[in-house]
Structure 1
Amino acid sequence: MGEEEQNQNSTESITAMKSSLRQAIEDIFSLISLSHSIKVFTVKWLLIRKKLEELSSGLMAVENCDSSQNTTVSSGLIPSVLATVNECHNLARSCVDLSYSGKLLMQSDLDAMIAKFEGHLKNLSGMYTAGILSQGFAIVVSRPGLGACKDEMRFYIGDLLTRMKIGDIEMKRQALVNLYQVVDEDERYGKLVVEVGDLVNVLVGFLDSPEMEIQEEASKIVSLLSGFDLYKGVLVGAGIIGPLVRVLENGSELGKGAAARCLQRLTVNSENAWSVSAHGGVTALLKICSSGEFRGELIGLACALLRNLVGVEEIKRFIVEEGVISTFIKLARSREEIVQINSMEFLQNIASADDPVREMVIREGGIRALVRVLDPRLSTSSKTREVALRAIEKLCFSSQNCVNMLMNYGFIDYLFFFLRNGEVSVQELALKVTVRLCGTSEEAKKAMGDAGFLPELVKLLDAKSYEVREMATEALSSLVSIPKNRKRFVQDDDRNIGYLLQLLDQGEGISGNKKLLLSILMSLTSCSSGRRKIASSGYLKNIEKLAEAEVTDAKRLVRKLSANRFRSILSGFWHS
Structure 2
Amino acid sequence: MGDEGGVREAKVEQNSPETSTGDSSLGRAIEFISSLISLSHSVRVFAAKWQLIRIKLEELHSGLIAAEDCDSGQNPSLSSLVPSILVTVNECYDLARRCVDLSYSGKLLMQSDLDVIFAKFDRHVKKLSEIYTTGILTSRYALVVSRPSLGASKDDMRFYMRDLLTRMKVGDMGMKRQALINLHEVVVEDEKYVKVIVEVGDIVHVLVNFLDSPELEIQEESAKVVSVVAGFDSYKGVLIGAGIIAPLIRVLEFGSEGGKVGAARCLQKLTENSDNAWSVSAHGGVTALLKICSNGDSKGELVGPACGVLRNLVGVEEIKRFMVEEGAVSTFIKLVRSKEEAIQVNSIEFLQNIASGDESTRQLVVREGGIRILLRVLEPKWSYPSKTREIAMRAIENLCFSSSSSVSMLMNYGFVDQLLYYIRNGEVSIQELALKVAFRLCGTSEEAKKAMGDAGFMPEFVKFLNAKSFEVREMAAEALSGLVLVPKNRKKFVLDDHSIALLLKLLDPEEGNSGNKKFLISILMSLTSCNSGRKKIVNSGYAKNIEKLAEAEVSSDAKKLVKKLSTNRFRSMLSGIWHHHS
Same fold (TM over 0.5): yes
Structure 1 CA distance, aligned partners of 2:568 and 2:390?
Answer: 47
User: For residue 488 of structure 2, what is the aligned residue in structure 1?
Assistant: 484
* Match in the other structure for 1:4: none
One of 507, 519, 522 as aligned partner of 2:522: 519
1:87 aligns with 2:91: yes
Partner AA of 2:67 in structure 1:
V
- Contact 1:263–1:305 under 8 Å retained in 2: yes
Aligned partner of 1:29 in structure 2 is 34
1:166 maps to a residue whose letter is V
* Structure 1 gap ranges (5+): 1-14, 571-576
Q: 1:479 to 1:80 in 2, by over 3 A?
A: same
Aligned to 1:431: 435
The question of whether the paired residues in 2 share the 8 Å contact of 1:77 and 1:120 is answered with: yes
1:330-341 matches, cutoff 5 A: 330-341=334-345
- Name the residue aligned to 1:162: 166
Residue 496 in structure 1 maps to residue 533 in structure 2: no
For residue 531 of structure 1, report the CA deviation from its aligned partner: 1.5
Q: 1:318 aligned to 2:322?
A: yes
Matched, 1:471 2:475: yes
Pick one of 70, 76, 84 that aligns with 1:65.
70
Between the aligned partners of 2:161 and 2:444, the Cα distance in structure 1 is 62
Q: How far off is 1:511 after superposition?
A: 4.2
**Cα drift, residue 569 of structure 1:** 7.3
Structure 1 position 388, deviation (Å): 0.5
Q: Measure, in 1, the Cα distance between the counterparts of 2:56 and 2:267.
A: 32
Match of 2:409 in 1: 405
Q: 1:53 maps to what in 2?
A: 58
Query: What SS class does the counterpart of residue 462 from structure 1 fall into?
Result: coil
Aligned partner letter, 1:519 = S
- Mapped contact 2:211–2:251 kept (Cα < 8 A): yes
Aligned to 1:114: 118
User: Bigger shift: 142-151 or 260-269?
Assistant: 260-269
Question: 545-554 or 198-207: which moved more?
Answer: 545-554
Alignment of 1:374-389 (within 5 A): 374-389=378-393
Structure 2 residue aligned with 1:135: 139
- The reply to whether residue 255 of structure 1 matches residue 256 of structure 2 is no
Question: Percent same amino acid at aligned positions?
Answer: 71
Task: Give 1:138 deviation, angstroms.
Answer: 4.0
Distance 2:118 2:351 in 1: 55
Q: 1:198 to 1:545 in 2, by over 3 A?
A: same
Q: What is residue 357 of structure 1 aligned with on the other side? A: 361
1:435–1:471 contact (8 Å) kept in structure 2: yes
Instruction: Provide the C-alpha distance between the structure 2 equivalents of 1:145 and 1:565, rounded to a whole number of angstroms.
Output: 90
Residue 510 (structure 1) shift: 7.6
- Tell me if structure 2 keeps the 8 A contact 1:61–1:140: no
Q: Moved runs in structure 1, 4+ residues, more than 6 A? A: 567-570
Distance in 2 between residues matched to 1:338 and 1:302, nearest whole Å: 11
Q: CA deviation at 1:16?
A: 4.8
Partner of 2:10: none
Partner amino acid, structure 1, of 2:177: R
Distance, in Å, in 2 between the alignment partners of 1:17 and 1:522 is 106
Q: CA deviation at 1:119?
A: 2.1
TM-score normalized with structure 2 length: 0.91
Q: Deviations over 1:379-416 (max 9, x none)?
A: 11100101100100000112221111111111111111
Partner of 1:213: 217
Paired amino acid for 2:462: V
The amino acid that maps onto 1:534 is I
Amino acid at match of 2:150: L
User: What SS class does the counterpart of residue 268 from structure 1 fall into?
Assistant: coil
Contact map agreement 2:236 2:270 (CA 8 A) in 1: yes
2:462: which partner in 1? 458
Q: Which sits farther off after the overlay, 339-348 or 327-336?
A: 327-336
- 196-205 or 550-559, which deviates more: 550-559
Are 2:44 and 1:43 aligned?
Answer: no
List per-residue Cα deviations over 1:448-467 (Å, max 9, x = no partner).
11211111111122122222
Q: Which moved more, 1:420-429 or 1:561-570?
A: 561-570
2:478 is aligned with what amino acid? E
Equivalence for 1:305: 309
Corresponding residue for 1:573?
A: none
3-state DSSP class of the match of 2:567? Answer: helix
Structure 2 distance, partners of 1:263, 1:356, is: 29
Q: Distance in 2 between the 1:49 and 1:506 partners? A: 79
In structure 2, C-alpha distance between the alignment counterparts of 1:105 and 1:334, rounded to whole Å: 67
Q: Return the alpha-carbon distance in structure 1 between the equivalents of residues 24 and 534 of structure 2.
A: 106
Instruction: Tell me which of 552, 556, 578 is aligned to 1:552.
Output: 556
Q: Does the CA contact (< 8 Å) of 1:344 and 1:391 recur in 2?
A: yes
Judged with a 3 Å threshold, the aligned counterparts in structure 2 of structure 1 residues 63 and 564 are, in CA distance, closer, same or farther, namely farther
Structure-to-structure mapping, 1:92-103, within 5 angstroms: 92-103=96-107
CA separation of 1:569 and 1:223: change in aligned 2, threshold 3 A: closer
Shift of 1:251: 1.2
Once the two structures are TM-superposed, the CA of residue 370 in structure 1 deviates from its matched residue by 0.8
> Counterpart in 2 of 1:293?
297
AA partner of residue 378 (structure 1): W
Alignment check: 8 A CA contact 1:460 1:472 kept? yes
- What's the Cα RMSD here? 2.1
After TM superposition, give the deviation of residue 70 of structure 1 in Å: 7.0
SS in 2 for 1:522: helix
Greater Cα offset, 73-82 or 91-100: 73-82
| TM-score normalised by length of structure 1 | 0.92
Look up the SS of the partner of 1:277 in the other structure: helix
Rounded Cα–Cα distance in structure 2 between residues aligned with 1:220 and 1:506: 63
Post-superposition Cα deviations, 1:208-252, rounded to whole Å, max 9, x if no partner, equal 111111111111111111111101111111111111111111112
CA deviations 1:499-548 (Å, max 9, x no partner) are 11222237576843222122112222222222122112222232222212
Provide the residue aligned with 1:145 in structure 2: 149
Q: 1:541 to 1:123 in 2, by over 3 A?
A: same
Q: Unpaired runs of 5+ in structure 2?
A: 1-19, 575-582
Secondary structure of the 2:465 match is helix
The one-letter code matched in structure 1 to 2:494 is V
